[in-house]
Amino acid sequence: MAKADKKNKKIVQSEKCIGCGICYSVCPVNAKAMKSDDFDPETAELALRIIDGMAIIDDEICIRCGACSKNCPVESLSVVEVEAATA
């Protein structure tokens, strides 16, 4: 995904998250990190984590591909277009 596309999108989360972890497991950024021989979930740069029963998205690492939102069983996550600010 091009960087320009990433800047124009955002993952938005509702309060419906049940912390099931499906988003965590289908995230391609997380999947790539987990394949590393020295993978440590505490220190790895993951786009999504499940903390205290909620999905937490790291905007700096997330590539906004939408895999999490497509697979969320309670539709807690969604990809939205962000309008560019005009000067």
pLDDT truncated to tens, each residue of the chain (87 aa)? 444 466 788 888 888 999 999 999 999 999 999 999 899 988 999 999 999 999 999 999 999 999 999 999 999 999 998 876 555
In this structure, is residue 27 part of a structural domain?
yes
Task: Indicate the pTM of the whole model.
Answer: 0.80
- For the chain, strand residue ranges (E) read 9-13, 48-51, 54-57, 77-81
Instruction: Look at residue 29 and tell me if it is in a domain.
Output: yes
- Give the residue from 40, 33, 84 showing the smallest Cα distance to 63: 33
40 assigned to some structural domain = yes
CB 20 within 8 A of CB 68: no
Q: How many residues does the chain have?
A: 87
The predicted-structure confidence for 44-66, as pLDDT tens digits, reads as follows 999 999 999 999 999 999 999 99
- Domain region containing 43: 7-79
Q: What does the alpha-carbon distance between residue 84 and residue 5 come to, in Å, rounded to a whole number?
A: 11
- Confirm whether 33 is domain-assigned: yes
Residue 35: CATH number of its domain: 3.30.70.20
Residue 85 lies in a domain: no
Count the domains in the chain: 1
Give the Cα separation of 27 and 25 in Å (integer).
Answer: 6
Domain assignment present for 71: yes
